[in-house]
Amino acid sequence: MSNRSGFSGRLGFVAAAAGSAVGLGNIWKFPYETGENGGAAFLIIYLVCTFLIGFPVMVGEISMGRKTLADPYGAYNKLGGRKWAIVGLFGVICGVMILSFYNVVAGWAFSYFFKLSFGDLLTSTDFGGYFGNYVANISDNFFISFLFMVLTAFIVARGIKKGIEAAAKILMPVLILLLVGLIFYSMTLPNAMEGLKFYLVPDFNKVGFDTIYKAMGHAFFSLSLGMGALITYGSYISKKENIISSAAIVSIADVGVAFLAGLLIFPLVFSQGVEPSAGPGLVFITLPGIFQTMAAGKLIGGAFFLLLSLAALTSTISLLEVPVSYVVDEYKWNRTKAVTILAAGIFLIGLPSMFSQGASELFTNFIHYDGVSKDFLSLIEDVFLNVGLPLGGCLMSIFIAARWKTSNMAAEIEQGNAGYIGSFVQKFIDIVITYIAPVLLGSIFLLTVMQKFFGISFF
Nearer to ligand TRP, 285 or 319 (CB): 319
Per DSSP, the residues of 407-443 read HHHHHHHHTTSTT-TTSHHHHHHHHIIIIIHHHHHHH
Nearer to ligand TRP, 121 or 253 (CB): 253
Nearer to ligand TRP, 75 or 189 (CB): 75
Long-range CB contacts for residues 375-379, cutoff 8 Å, separation at least 24: 376/352, 377/101, 377/104, 377/353
Nearer to ligand TRP, 271 or 314 (CB): 314
To ligand TRP, the closest distance from the beta carbon of 416 in angstroms equals 24
Nearer to ligand TRP, 19 or 416 (CB): 19
Per DSSP, the residues of 164-193 read IIHHHHHHHHHHHHHHHHHHHHHHTSTTHH
To ligand TRP, the closest distance from the beta carbon of 404 in angstroms equals 21
Nearer to ligand TRP, 35 or 289 (CB): 35
To ligand TRP, the closest distance from the beta carbon of 66 in angstroms equals 18
To ligand TRP, the closest distance from the beta carbon of 109 in angstroms equals 11
To ligand TRP, the closest distance from the beta carbon of 258 in angstroms equals 8
Of the candidates 232, 222, 427, the residue with the CA atom closest to the CA atom of residue 318: 232
Residue 387, H or E segment: none
List all residues 6 or more positions away from 34 whose beta carbon is below 8 Å from its beta carbon.
42, 43, 46, 199, 262, 276
Nearer to ligand TRP, 50 or 318 (CB): 318
Which CA distances in Å does 233 have to 2, 7, 360, 418? 16, 9, 37, 22
DSSP state of 123: G
To ligand TRP, the closest distance from the beta carbon of 362 in angstroms equals 28
d(Cα 313, Cα 148) in Å, to the nearest integer?
A: 8
Nearer to ligand TRP, 318 or 357 (CB): 318
Q: Is 204 exposed, middle or buried (0-12, 13-18, 19+ CB in 10 A)?
A: exposed
Rounded to the nearest 10 degrees, the angle between the axes of helix 138-157 and helix 82-118 is 120
Helix (H, G, I), strand (E, B) or coil at 215: helix
Of the candidates 204, 263, 262, 193, the residue with the CA atom closest to the CA atom of residue 41: 204
Nearer to ligand TRP, 229 or 249 (CB): 229
Nearer to ligand TRP, 22 or 433 (CB): 22
Q: Give the interface with ligand TRP as residue ranges (CB under 6 A).
A: 20-21, 23-26, 221-222, 224, 227, 229, 315, 318-319, 389
Of the candidates 343, 377, 378, 342, the residue with the CA atom closest to the CA atom of residue 453: 378
Q: What's the CA dihedral at 433, 438, 441, 444 to 10 degrees?
A: -160
To ligand TRP, the closest distance from the beta carbon of 26 in angstroms equals 5
CB 412 within 8 A of CB 62: no
List all residues 6 or more positions away from 435 whose beta carbon is below 8 Å from its beta carbon.
none
To ligand TRP, the closest distance from the beta carbon of 110 in angstroms equals 15
To ligand TRP, the closest distance from the beta carbon of 406 in angstroms equals 23
To ligand TRP, the closest distance from the beta carbon of 150 in angstroms equals 18
Q: What is the dihedral sign for C-alpha 196, 202, 203, 205? A: positive
CB 347 within 8 A of CB 149: yes
To ligand TRP, the closest distance from the beta carbon of 389 in angstroms equals 6
Nearer to ligand TRP, 38 or 393 (CB): 393
